[in-house]
């Protein structure tokens, strides 16, 4: 049985690395390709319901990658389904796919890291420059 990931559990992890470990899919994007049914998910992502909940999640997470303060996203913001969605979810109108407790803000790189299990794509902690830190000797 697969784990159902929730925002309330994700919040228990304070670092971006720990949140990544909770969310990563270990290289599995999904059990099947969307194939000819891709128009279902394209229609969903253009819907007013999705756009409204997407904005609510971005506000909740303050535009920070995986909702971690200090990792503000200054480029394209994605809202990631913590639990993969399937064609059946769209066909049956499963409301979980619009529930913020199953969604999180990510950057494009972090989103790829989650799907493909590549920790090297995660943003790094910014280390402020200090006088003399560029001296060669």
Beta strands in the chain (DSSP E): 77-81, 103-107
The mean predicted confidence, pLDDT, of the chain is: 87
The three-class DSSP label of residue 94 is: coil
pTM as predicted: 0.83
Domain residue extents for the chain: 1-27+61-116
pLDDT-based confidence at 86, cuts 50/70/90?
A: confident
Whether 2 has a pLDDT exceeding 70, the answer reads no
**Separation between Cα atoms, residue 61 and residue 55, nearest integer Å:** 10
Q: Which of 71, 68, 103, 70 is nearest to 85 (CA)?
A: 103
Backbone angles phi, psi at 117, to 5 degrees: 70, 25
SS3 content of the chain, % helix, strand, coil (to 5): 45, 10, 45
Residue scoring higher pLDDT (116 or 7): 7
């Amino acid at each position: 049985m697969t784990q159902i990931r929730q925002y309330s559990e994700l919040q228990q992890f304070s670092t971006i690395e720990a949140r990544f470990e909770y969310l990563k899919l270990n290289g599995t994007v999904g059990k099947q390709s969307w194939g000819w049914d891709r128009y279902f998910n394209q229609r969903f992502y253009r819907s007013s319901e999705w756009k409204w909940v997407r904005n609510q999640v971005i506000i909740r997470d303050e535009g920070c990658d995986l909702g971690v303060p200090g990792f503000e996203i200054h480029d394209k913001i994605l809202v990631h389904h913590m639990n993969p969605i399937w064609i059946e979810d769209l066909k049956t109108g499963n409301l979980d796919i619009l529930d913020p407790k199953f969604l999180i803000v990510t950057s494009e790189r972090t989103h790829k890291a989650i799907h493909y299990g590549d920790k090297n794509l995660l943003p790094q902690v910014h280390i402020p420059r200090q006088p003399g830190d560029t001296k060669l000797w």
